């Protein structure tokens, strides 16, 4: 992700990790209706929020995201039965780690939508971006790691 431009209003950089069965379908529909989305939003389509390794969220922050929005199906509506519950459990543990490391837990949000809720999807994204605007940019010290074999 590119560096923020000095002197302009802060436009949060957001990574959306979207389940293909719900949130990604919403995003697709919203695009079809030419709805506008926040400029800093980048989305990645996943088969299920159950695929979100907590380290992915940390890596997104390390790569410059100000917030990570994970969106999956409503409770009980997961196409892989219960993986969205597991995803929430992983995210809630990750929030504890973030909090203790001085990264506001509000920067990693989990929301539930269905494929038919495009309008709500847009509202949730806007709401998250507004929350990030209030928090301001996430400035992390960069770590370099020379000992990891590549």
In angstroms, the CA 84 to CA 101 distance is 25
Nearer to other proteins among residue 31 and residue 136 (C-beta): 136
CB of 69 to other proteins, least distance (A): 14
List the one residue from 19, 58, 108, 124 that touches other proteins (CB under 8 A): 58
| 97 lies in the site for other proteins, by CB under 8 A | yes
| 7 lies in the site for other proteins, by CB under 8 A | no
List the one residue from 39, 42, 59, 134 that touches other proteins (CB under 8 A): 59
| 140 lies in the site for other proteins, by CB under 8 A | yes
CB of 82 to other proteins, least distance (A): 5
List the one residue from 4, 54, 77, 137 that touches other proteins (CB under 8 A): 54
65 in Cβ contact with 2 (< 8 Å): no
Q: What DSSP string describes 107-147?
A: GEEEEE--TT-HHHHHHHHHHHHHHHHHH-----PPP--SS
Rg (CA), the chain: 16
| 90 lies in the site for other proteins, by CB under 8 A | yes
In angstroms, the CA 119 to CA 2 distance is 29
| 75 lies in the site for other proteins, by CB under 8 A | yes
* Residue 18, helix vs strand vs coil: strand
Handedness of CA 119, 123, 126, 128 (dihedral sign): negative
Q: Which stretch binds other proteins (CB under 8 A): 7-15, 27-35, 40-48, 88-96?
A: 88-96
Site for other proteins in 18-37 (CB under 8 A): none
């Amino acid at each position: 992700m590119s560096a923020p431009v000095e002197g302009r209003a802060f436009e949060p950089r957001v990574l959306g990790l979207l389940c293909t069965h719900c949130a990604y379908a919403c995003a697709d529909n919203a695009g079809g209706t030419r709805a506008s989305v926040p400029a800093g939003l980048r989305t990645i389509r996943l088969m299920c929020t159950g695929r979100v390794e907590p380290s992915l969220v940390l890596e997104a922050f390390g790569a410059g995201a100000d917030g990570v929005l994970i969106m999956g199906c409503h409770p009980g509506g997961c196409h892989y039965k219960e993986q969205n519950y597991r995803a929430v459990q992983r995210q809630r543990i990750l929030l504890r780690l973030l909090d203790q490391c001085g990264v506001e837990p509000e920067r990693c949000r989990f929301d539930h939508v269905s494929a038919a809720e495009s309008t709500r999807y847009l509202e949730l994204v806007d709401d998250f971006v507004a929350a990030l605007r209030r928090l301001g940019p996430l400035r992390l010290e960069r770590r370099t790691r020379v000992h990891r074999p590549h």
